[in-house]
Structure formats: C-alpha cells, structure tokens
Amino acid sequence: MNTPSTKADDILRCARTLIVRGGYNSFSYADISGVVGIRNASIHHHFPSKADLVRRLVAQYRQEAEAGLTELERNVADPLEQLRAYVGYWEGCIADASHPFCVCAMLAGEIPVLPEAVAVEVRAHFRGLSAWLASVLERGVAEARLTLTGSAGDNAEIFMATVHGAMLSARAYGDPGMFGAITRPLLQRLAA
Amino acid sequence: MNTPSTKADDILRCARTLIVRGGYNSFSYADISGVVGIRNASIHHHFPSKADLVRRLVAQYRQEAEAGLTELERNVADPLEQLRAYVGYWEGCIADASHPFCVCAMLAGEIPVLPEAVAVEVRAHFRGLSAWLASVLERGVAEARLTLTGSAGDNAEIFMATVHGAMLSARAYGDPGMFGAITRPLLQRLAA
DNA sequence: CCCTCCCTACCAACTAGTAGGGAGAACGTC
DNA sequence: GACGTTCTCCCTACTAGTTGGTAGGGAGGG
C-alpha cells in the first residue's frame, strides 16, 4: 500500500493547502498548476470541475481523519488521553504551521456559497467527528475517567465547537499558543 | 443624528451581508451593484478598492459592536445577564437568519489571504471583544455572580472561541438551534 | 488499437479597476 | 439675484488580467 505520488494526489494535496489558507474561493486552478507542475487544463483530466475536485478532496480528508482516529484508538486506550492526543495533533499542526486549520471547519464557514456536493461532505465530517467525540466521552464516563455535565452528545458538540473556535482565535491573533490556551482548560474540566 | 441611507451606506450594508454569507473572496462588485442599484464602476467613487471597502466595513462593524456593548452595559447591570444578552443577541441573529455569522469571525478564517489593512481591523475586533468579555467576567467574580477556573482573560478567550465555534457548527449542520445547544451550557457553567 | 495522461490553443464570462464626462447641487461674488 | 465655478455623485465605455472550462491532438504503455 505505497503511495507513488501521482499527479492527482499532488493536485489534491496542493488544493488542500490552499483551502486551509483561505477557503474555497481563495484559490484557482492557476495556483495549483504552478505548484504541481502541470498545465491548467490538465487538472480537468483528473477532476472535471472545481466542485468535483474539492468534493473528492474533502472525501479523502474525511477518510484520513477516520483512519487517524481509528489508529489513535488502537494506540491509546484511555479516553481522556485520546482527547488529549486529538487536541495535541492539532496543536502540533498549528505550531509548525503545516496545516494550521481543519479543512472542514474552513469550508463550513462558507457553506452558503459552496456547491451542494461539497457542503454534504463537510456536514458529514462534522457529524462523524461529533459522533467519535461522543463515543469517547461516553466511554470516559463509563470508565470513571471523566465527568460530564449533560449528555455525551451535547459535550461532544461543545468540545468540537471549542476546538474550531480555538483554531480561529489562533489564526486571528497570529498566535499558535492561543489554541492550547483555549483547549487546555477544556480538557482539564473534563478530567475533573 | 438621523441616517439618510446614502448609497455608500447601502454598499456597506450589502457587502456586509455578502461577507457573512461566504467571506472576502466570495463576492464581487457586480454582486453589490445589482442589489444596491448602482453601476459597478460607481462603487469605486465611494471606495477606491475592495480592500478599502472591506476595511471600512469592518471598522464600522467594530464601532457598532462597541456601541452595542456599551448600551448593553447601560441596560443590563448584572454581569451574568450581560453575557446572556450577548449570546442571546447572536442566537436571535442566527435564528432569523438576518446576520447568522460574525463578520470578523468569518474574515478571521481567511486572514492568510486577506489584505493586511483588513486583517488589522479583524485582529482589533478580537482583542476588543475579548477585553470586554474579560472585564465582564472579572466584575462577575467580584460581585460573586459567577465563578471561574483560571483567569478572567483566559476565560474570555474560551468564551469567545466557543461562541465562534457554535456559529460554525450551527452553519455546518444547518441547524440554528445548535448555537444555543453549545452556548447554554457555557453560560450555566459560569453561573455555578 | 485503445487508454491514460498531459499538452497547446482556445473560450466566454467575470474580476477589480481606470478614464472621462454629465447632471445638479453648493458656493462665492459681483 | 444672476453668473460662473467647483464639488459631489453617478454614468458609459473600456481595459488588462483571471476565472473555470472545452476541443482536440500527441506520446507512450498494456
């Protein structure tokens, strides 16, 4: 299961970086062709339209996210540590500025102007992430590792929203440390 | 101090609605001219460039926000109730879909691709809002109306981030009620 | 022989922005 | 109070550059 780094993958990876920077309408085919080393029109061979490109990009992102969480569950047993690892992953991404924003959080803000096919994928990511968080929280309560006020589902939504808001604040202030400053108390509160 | 509804105001109001929908790069002068009833080129008479238009738009938005919070402080004495009123304001905006997103939260996500002059205003809004929230929280603690874990400043950032994240989730799910579902526990926790 | 991949060469529509002019209100001045 | 001048606001007409997307062809491997 190696990755021969095809042009299509290069295009997806480049587009992802561009979306993370400024969203759906902030990049063009020209931006991609320059970086990937392919002609503008050739992108259409792999992705008929921009909507299709981004739809598949988000689908791939969701798949990777799901795979990442599955592996996280395999490597880390404790629910609280799982949450810490999840937050820590993003803390790292923001600190080294590699992917300092969630693709779907970025696109979610633009949903009113997004192609419906893309919006569907974005919504699916939110639901999937929320469901995973809820399951972790639920197990954490069952194992007496963390205590909640309210349902696991409600707390999952709060958790997710706070993480997204922390990304936004880190970007707004231009201060990577802001993400940790907001998410650390979130984790501490659950651990109590 | 009446507002004669000049064309410049119409342009600003229209642009604000468009930015709330999809951000800086999601709208063009043509979108504005169609709604406001003015020719494309005439917009340049009032605002030399798009960057200038949005910069002044955000400056106006900040001014209105500051005025709103000042009036809120005059009408509501209790710190906790002030926070409730602030959240309630946004809950209303999201429910009636009039301005279902904070202009600056929207633009903050796009900061890497924003004109610097606009980014400066957006950052200033974040700092201003955070400072107001911190002052309210501090007074709330002093008056024994609410209890915090950690500093007022840290809690202000958490509060703001959660509210922004709640806007995002409400939009992502297409469910206005999601905003309240996330922010209500936030207020309850502080009231404890 | 076809299929995959990428190319050149287009395209119409749209992007922000410029040049220059006209109508009319505002203003001083004789 | 009549007269030019200036200023505000908006217009038509235009531009250069970019947008996503199409048509058709060529190279090369299965």
Closest residue (Cα, C1') to C18: B41
pLDDT value at residue B6: 84
> pLDDT by residue (tens digit) across B135-160?
999 999 999 999 999 999 999 999 99
The answer, yes or no, to whether residue A8 has pLDDT greater than 70, is yes
pLDDT value at residue B4: 54
pLDDT value at residue B74: 97
The token pair that represents B137 in the structure block: 């929280």
Instruction: Judge contact between A38 and A30, C-beta under 8 A.
Output: no
Q: Which of A104, A106, A110 to mutate to test the interface with B (most CBs of B within 10 A)?
A: A110
Residues 6+ apart with CB under 8 A from A31: A14, A18
Instruction: Among A101, A111, A157, select the one facing B181 at the smallest CB separation.
Output: A157
Angstrom distances, CA of residue A62 to CA of A158, B96, B116? 20, 31, 32
For residues B129 and B2, which has the higher predicted lDDT (pLDDT)? Answer: B129
pLDDT value at residue B192: 73
The answer, yes or no, to whether residue B20 has pLDDT greater than 50, is yes
Q: Report CB contact under 8 Å: A171, B112.
A: yes
A188 and chain B: CB distance < 8 Å anywhere? yes
Q: Give me the CATH topology for the region B58-191.
A: Tetracycline Repressor; domain 2 (1.10.357)
pLDDT value at residue A6: 84
Phi, then psi, of B147 in degrees rounded to 5: -120, 140
> pLDDT by residue (tens digit) across A74-120?
999 999 999 999 999 999 999 999 999 999 999 999 999 999 999 99
How many A-B residue pairs are in contact by the CB < 8 A criterion? 143
Q: Report CB contact under 8 Å: B174, A111.
A: yes
Q: Report CB contact under 8 Å: B165, A163.
A: yes
The answer, yes or no, to whether residue B2 has pLDDT greater than 70, is no
Instruction: Among A23, A150, A157, select the one facing B109 at the smallest CB separation.
Output: A23
- For B160, which residue in chain A has the nearest alpha carbon? A165
Q: Stated in angstroms, how far is B7 CA from D1 C1'?
A: 34
Q: What letter represents residue A72's amino acid?
A: L
The burial class, CB within 10 Å (0-12 / 13-18 / 19+), for A161 is buried
A30 CB less than 7 Å from any atom of strand C: no
B131 and chain A: CB distance < 8 Å anywhere? no
Mean pLDDT of chain A: 95
> pLDDT by residue (tens digit) across A32-82?
999 999 999 999 999 999 999 999 999 999 999 999 999 999 999 999 999
pLDDT-based confidence at residue B7 (cuts at 50, 70, 90):
confident
The domain locations on chain A are 58-191
Rounded CA Rg of chain B: 18
pLDDT-based confidence at residue A3 (cuts at 50, 70, 90):
very low
pLDDT-based confidence at residue B175 (cuts at 50, 70, 90):
very high
- For B172, which residue in chain A has the nearest alpha carbon? A108
pLDDT-based confidence at residue B45 (cuts at 50, 70, 90):
very high
B123 and chain A: CB distance < 8 Å anywhere? yes
The answer, yes or no, to whether residue A2 has pLDDT greater than 60, is no
Instruction: Among A112, A113, A181, select the one facing B157 at the smallest CB separation.
Output: A181
Q: What is the 3-state secondary structure (H, E, C) of A16-81?
A: HHHHHHHCHHHCCHHHHHHHHCCCHHHHHHHCCCHHHHHHHHHHHHHHHHHHHHHHHHHHCCCHHH
pLDDT-based confidence at residue B5 (cuts at 50, 70, 90):
low
Nucleotide closest in space to B44 (CA vs C1'): C17
Chain B residues whose CB is inside 8 A of the A133 CB are none
